[in-house]
Amino acid sequence: MSKISSSNENFYSSIKQYQKNIDAIFGTTANIEDTEFYELCKKFSDIGLNAPKRVIEETCDVQGCFQDNDINIAVIETVAYIKHWKITEIDLLFELISNMHSLAVDWDETRQKSAFIKSAGYNYNGGYAGKLHNFSELPQDIFDKICCDIKDALRNNK
């Protein structure tokens, strides 16, 4: 196995586990690296990374205020991507984006990628560090809303 030296290489190394979906989406002759799929997934991770975050200390949760501009960019870019590559397996594409978008973050990213959140009043002597939040991974309800927006855009633009 060769040394992985960038987030892009790590992304494409990790995506190989979804080869069956890739073949269904792009055809068996397509090389996923040639489709700029990493760049598309970056649009989705940017939504979470750019969102201002607010900690709810009582529950160890973080609420994000996802920006309409970032969501619109992801919708527009995904619609263009689907049309350019003539993708018909839209749901498989969404599944692949959902599984991979959190890996489409540069290793030297300066925006906060994750955090341990400690709840107020908890005794941390037992080694509990808090709840880990990965900000580059979108919550499922937000991802589902974006997918609906993409489907609506595709229906309205055909």
Looking at the chain, the whole-number percentage of residues with pLDDT higher than 70 is: 84
Supply the pLDDT for residue 1: 54
Buried b (16+ CB within 10 A) or exposed e, 21-48: bbebbbeeeeebeebebbebbbbbbbbb
What is the value of pTM for the model shown? Answer: 0.86
Q: Give the whole-angstrom CA distance, residue 97 versus residue 104.
A: 10
4 contacts 10 by C-beta, under 8 angstroms: yes
> Tokens 């005794």 — which residue?
123
Evaluated on CA atoms 114, 120, 125, 128, the torsion sign reads negative
Supply the pLDDT for residue 17: 95
pLDDT digits (tens, 9 = 90+) for 45-62: 999 989 888 877 777 677
pLDDT digits (tens, 9 = 90+) for 53-112: 887 777 767 778 899 999 999 999 999 999 999 999 999 999 999 999 999 998 888 777
Supply the pLDDT for residue 30: 79
If DSSP codes are grouped into helix, strand and coil, which group holds residue 158?
coil
Classify strands 61-64 and 114-117 as parallel, antiparallel or unpaired: unpaired
Q: Where are the alpha helices (DSSP H) in the chain?
A: 7-14, 19-26, 37-50, 68-84, 90-100, 140-157
